[in-house]
Structure 1
Amino acid sequence: MRYLTAGESHGPQLTTIIEGVPAGMPLVAEDINVELQRRQKGHGRGRRMQIEKDTVEIMSGVRHGATLGSPIALVVENNDWKHWTKIMGQAPLEPEDEQEVKRQISRPRPGHADLNGALKYGHRDMRNVLERSSARETTVRVAAGAVAKKLLALLGIEIASHVIEIGGVKATNINYQSIAELQEKTELSPVRCVDPVAEKEMMQAIDDAKQNGDSIGGIVEVVVEGMPSGVGSYVHYDRKLDAKVASAIVSINAFKGVEFGIGFEAARKPGSEVHDEIIWNQEEGYSRRTNRLGGFEGGMTTGQPIVVRGVMKPIPTLYKPLQSVDIETKEPFSASIERSDSCAVPAAAVVAESAVAWELASAIIEQFYADRFDKLAEQVREYREYAREF
C-alpha cells in the first residue's frame, strides 16, 4: 500500500489518495470520521480546532460500503478557507488585491521548516513553506491511517495509544488489562493519560505554558496486539518492519525520537535483563516470557504486543517568540507568530497510532495475497495456525 497527501493548512481542502487496499473490505466514512474527531481533541489545542470540524468525503475507490481495489481518494475540506481565498488563492492576483496580501512572512521561526524550506525552494515569502509544513497535514495522514486501522481490526489486530509524559510530568500509575480498556480510559482523558494523578498535573503544565506564551512537548506510546509473528524481514535493511515503524514515527511533525520496548534503557542493562525468553504451549504455540524488545526481533514481529514510543518536541510557534533574522533586511527580529497550540501531544498520540497502523497494514499487504480482502483474511488465519503448530 502507499498514499500521497496534498493540501495547504489554509487551502481549500486536504486530500489523500490511497493505493493497494484489497477489494471487498468494508469501509464507510464514519470509520474515518471517528479518527478525525479523536485527532481534534486534547487539552491545549488552539482555536483552529474550534473552527474546523473535520469530516471526510470518500471520492473514489469505495462502492456500497466496500472497497473496489482501485485507488481511494479522501477529501477533508478546510472550513477556514473562506477567510483565506485571496491570501491562498491559486489564480494570479488582481492589482486591487495585491495590497491586501502584500505582506510577506520573512521572519523564520526557530525549530520550524521556514528557513530551510525557503532556502531549498527559493521562497522569499515563507508562507509558501509553513502552509505545507504544518500539523494540519496530519489530518489526512490520520484519514489514511483510519483505513489501515480498519483493515487491521478486521484481521483481529487492535491498536491504541496513550500519553506517558508531558512537560516533564510522567505517568507512573499505568494500569490496563486490554487494548479495549486502554482505548476506553484514554478517550475519557483530556490528555489521553491513564494515570489520573499525572493527568491533572499534565493539564496544569499545559495551562502554565499557555499563560507564559510558551509550549511544551512530551512522549506518546502506541500499543498493538494481535500482529502475527514473522511479519517483516531480516534479509535487507529496508525490509525491517521496526525500521519502517521508526521512520513513520519520526516523520510526524515535531517528533524527534523513537524507541521500542524498554528502548534506550537497554543500554544500561545486561543482556539477561534485555532479551525475551522463548516459551511454548499447546494452545498458543511460541511466545515470550517478557516483552522488553517491544514485539520485534531481527526486524520482524514476534507475536507479542508491539510497544513503540515517540518523543514530540514543543511546538515551535510561541506567543513569546524567540529571536530570528529577517531574511530581507538581515536584521534581528522576533520570529513570526502563527495561530498554534500550546501542547499537541494528546492529538499527536492519535497521529502516531495512524502512522504505526499504516506501516503494519502495509507489511501485511506485502507479505500475503492482497487483491481480495476475503482471501487476505483467509491467508492470515492459515498463517497464524501454521505458526502455532510450527
Structure 2
Amino acid sequence: MLRWLTAGESHGPALVATIDGMPAGLDLTTGVLRSALARRRLGYGRGARQSFERDEVTILGGVRHGTTTGAPIAVQIANSEWPKWRVVMSADPVDPADLLVDAGTGDGREIARNRPLTRPRPGHADLPGMLSYDLDEARPVLERASARETAARVVLGAIASELLRQVAGVELVSHVVSVGGEHAEPGLPLPVPTDEEALDASPMRTLDPSAQNRFVAAVDAAKAAGDTIGGVVEVVAWGVPVGLGTHVQADRRLDARLAAALMSIQSVKGVEIGEGFAQAALPGSRAHDEIVRGPDGRLTRASNRAGGIEGGTSNGQPIVVRAAFKPISTVPRALRSVDLATGEEATALHQRSDTCQVVPGAVIAEAQTALVLADALSDHAGGNSVAEMRRNLEAYLARVGERA
C-alpha cells in the first residue's frame, strides 16, 4: 500500500511531498524529479509566473546514493520567489504595519500582495473556504487551493512512474485532445511512450499539427478577450497487467480510484474512462470489447472502448482516461462578486494566472494516474524490495499466461 501527502502554500517557502510504502531498490535520482517538474512548466498559454519561478528540488529522505531504502521518501520543492513573500506568508506573527506597505514593483497586482483579499473569485475555493474556515480574507484559502500544489503531485507521480516502469514495464504518456471548442481529429492512433519527446516539444502537447494550430488560435483569442479557456487531456498507460484493482469493494475498484484521483486536480470537473460517454449512446452489441484470440494465440480484445478496465479491474488492454479542465477561475476581466469586508458588490480579485492550463494539466493527470496504478500494483505484487515485487509479479503473470 502506498500513502502520499503534500504540504505547503503557493507562495510559502516550499512545497513538501511525502510517499510511504515504496520498496527498497528502486533507482531514483533528483534529476528524474527535476525532469518531471520541467515538463509541468511547458505549454502555450502559461502566465508570467513561469518565466521567473524555478523549482528547486531536494530529496530529504528515503533515497541513498540513487536508490530507495524502503523508508518514506520526502521531497522539498523550494520557492525561488520566497524573499518577496516573507512578510505576507510568514509563519510567525508580523507587525501589522508591515502589511500596510505595498510590496514589489511594476504590476499593481504584485504591489498590493500584502493587502487583504476580500473579493472572492467565482469558480475558485475562495468563498466556500472563507466561510467554512471562518476567515476574514481569501489568502489562506487560495494559497493552499492554488494549482501550484500540483508541483508536489508531479514529483510523487514521477516516483510512482519509476516503480511502474522498473517493476512491471508499465509506461504512461499524456496529451491534449481538446481546447475550448476545438478538438483533435478523431480516430488518430493513441500516443505511445516513444512519442514523449515530440509531445514535450509541442506547444499544445499534441501530435496533430492541425489541432495544434487551432488550439493555439483558441488560446490567443481567449487572451485577447481578457478571458481564460479550458480543455480535455488524455492519459494512456501501456503495459498494465491484467488484474490490478478488484470488483470486491467499491473503494478498491481501479476505475473509481482513478476517477477520484483525477477529480482531485484543481479545475478538473469531469473524468471519462475509455469511451465512457460515447458508450452510453451505443447498443450493447457494439459497446463492449469482444474477447478474441490474437496472432500469438493469447486472449485479447477486438477493441478497447472500456479503456482497459472492466468490473473495477484492469483487463490487460491499455488504460485510457480523460480529464476535463474548466477554464481557470482567475479571469483577467474579473467577474462579479461581493466584497466580504464591506458587503458591497464588487469585481472579483485578480492575481497573475495562466490563460490556459491544459498542457500542464496533462502532465499532472499523468502523475495522478501513475500514483493510482503504482498503488494498485503494490497491492497486487507487494514486497519490501523491487526484486521481491518483480518475483511476485512474474509468478502471477506466469499463471495468467497458462490460463490465457
The more displaced of 255-264 and 93-102 is 93-102
8 Å CA contact retained: 2:267, 2:328: yes
**Amino acid in structure 1 at the alignment position of 2:126:** D
Partner of 2:373: 360
Q: 2:183 aligns with which of 149, 155, 170?
A: 170
Partner of 2:309: 296
Partner of 1:145: 157
Q: 1:198 aligns with which of 211, 232, 252?
A: 211
Mapping for residues 1-390 of structure 1, pairs under 5 Å? 1-100=2-101, 103-154=115-166, 155-172=168-185, 175-176=188-189, 179-281=192-294, 283=296, 285-390=298-403
Instruction: For residue 368 of structure 1, report the CA deviation from its aligned partner.
Output: 1.6
Instruction: For residue 291 of structure 1, report the CA deviation from its aligned partner.
Output: 0.4
8 Å CA contact retained: 1:22, 1:370: yes
8 Å CA contact retained: 2:17, 2:75: yes
TM-score (norm 1): 0.97
Shift in CA distance, 389/342, structure 1 to aligned 2, threshold 3 Å: same
**Amino acid in structure 1 at the alignment position of 2:379:** E
Cα distance in 2 for residues equivalent to 1:70 and 1:226: 27
Deviations 1:84-137 (A, max 9, x none): 111111111125424237621000000000000011111111101000000000
Instruction: For residue 351 of structure 1, report the CA deviation from its aligned partner.
Output: 0.1
Q: How many residues matched?
A: 390
Cα distance in 2 for residues equivalent to 1:228 and 1:93: 55
Cα distance in 2 for residues equivalent to 1:261 and 1:343: 24
**Amino acid in structure 1 at the alignment position of 2:309:** F
Shift in CA distance, 57/167, structure 1 to aligned 2, threshold 3 Å: same
Instruction: For residue 17 of structure 1, report the CA deviation from its aligned partner.
Output: 1.1
Cα distance in 2 for residues equivalent to 1:24 and 1:278: 38
Cα distance in 2 for residues equivalent to 1:102 and 1:315: 23
**Amino acid in structure 1 at the alignment position of 2:144:** R
8 Å CA contact retained: 2:56, 2:79: no
Instruction: For residue 182 of structure 1, report the CA deviation from its aligned partner.
Output: 3.2
Instruction: For residue 272 of structure 1, report the CA deviation from its aligned partner.
Output: 1.1
Unaligned runs of 5+ in 1: none
What secondary structure sits across from 1:213 in the alignment?
coil
Shift in CA distance, 284/13, structure 1 to aligned 2, threshold 3 Å: farther
**Amino acid in structure 2 at the alignment position of 1:298:** G
8 Å CA contact retained: 1:285, 1:389: no
Unaligned runs of 5+ in 2: 102-112
The more displaced of 322-331 and 352-361 is 322-331
Cα distance in 1 for residues equivalent to 2:187 and 2:308: 19
Cα distance in 2 for residues equivalent to 1:95 and 1:10: 19
Shift in CA distance, 215/178, structure 1 to aligned 2, threshold 3 Å: closer
Instruction: For residue 282 of structure 1, report the CA deviation from its aligned partner.
Output: 7.9
8 Å CA contact retained: 1:176, 1:182: no
Cα distance in 1 for residues equivalent to 2:187 and 2:328: 26
User: CA RMSD for the aligned pairs?
Assistant: 1.4
**Amino acid in structure 1 at the alignment position of 2:357:** A
Instruction: For residue 260 of structure 1, report the CA deviation from its aligned partner.
Output: 1.2
Percent sequence identity is 45
